């Protein structure tokens, strides 16, 4: 009888899925593998988990870099600290989506448009993360360099980068059938160029 109970407990334990803390943290986020690929990983995350695609960071990065000026002068990407929002828009549209850059965003605007890619400075360098929403006084982020994380709202507001002309920026990807919610200042292609992490 003891043997039967032990066998039953072992079988039950084997059937229960187990995920490490690292696997749990990285679930639902495409993790970046290169220092300047947060834009590629953030875009892959949005496409995969909001639109049902299955792109790797590498595939999106290859599409982002597939421009004559980047192929001829790859140092441009390093000089700009990665890809711009215009680069993300071009790839989104190449894949049949609407990439929309927005300026003048408040935290409430981010809440309404979540998930939305935003540029932040968390550790002394520009970086793209996905704002997923708020839980009380904490924001929920999908960070390509870390995974899912929460952060106090005040710290996030300090880390959120501000363009001197456009204010707080965000980038959202919609299918062509999706209608955008509340009106916000949409960026022109020239404004996209200055909007980089």
Measured distance CA(104)–CA(109) in Å, rounded: 9
Closest among 156, 193, 144 to 30, alpha carbons compared? 144
Exactly one of 29, 30, 31, 38 is catalytic; which is it? 38
Measured distance CA(166)–CA(64) in Å, rounded: 24
Measured distance CA(84)–CA(98) in Å, rounded: 16
Contact between 139 and 25 (Cβ < 8 Å): no
Q: Is 7 a catalytic residue?
A: no
Q: What is the set of active-site residues? A: 38
């Amino acid at each position: 009888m003891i043997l039967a109970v032990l066998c039953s407990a072992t079988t039950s334990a084997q059937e229960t899925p187990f995920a490490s803390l690292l696997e749990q943290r990285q679930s639902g986020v495409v993790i970046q593998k290169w220092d300047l690929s947060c834009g590629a990983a953030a875009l892959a995350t949005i496409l995969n988990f909001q639109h049902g695609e299955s792109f790797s960071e590498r595939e999106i990065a290859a599409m982002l870099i597939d421009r004559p000026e980047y192929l001829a002068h790859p140092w441009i990407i390093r000089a700009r600290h990665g890809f711009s929002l215009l680069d993300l828009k071009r790839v989104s549209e190449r894949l049949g989506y609407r990439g929309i850059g927005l300026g003048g965003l408040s935290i409430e605007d981010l809440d309404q448009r979540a998930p939305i890619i935003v540029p932040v400075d968390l550790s002394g360098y520009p970086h793209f993360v996905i704002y997923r929403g708020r839980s009380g006084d904490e924001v929920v982020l999908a960070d390509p360099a870390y995974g899912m994380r929460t952060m106090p709202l005040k710290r996030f507001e300090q880390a959120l980068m501000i363009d001197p002309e456009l204010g707080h920026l965000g980038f959202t990807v919609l299918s062509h059938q999706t209608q955008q919610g509340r009106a916000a200042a949409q960026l022109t292609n020239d404004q996209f160029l200055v909007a980089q992490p």
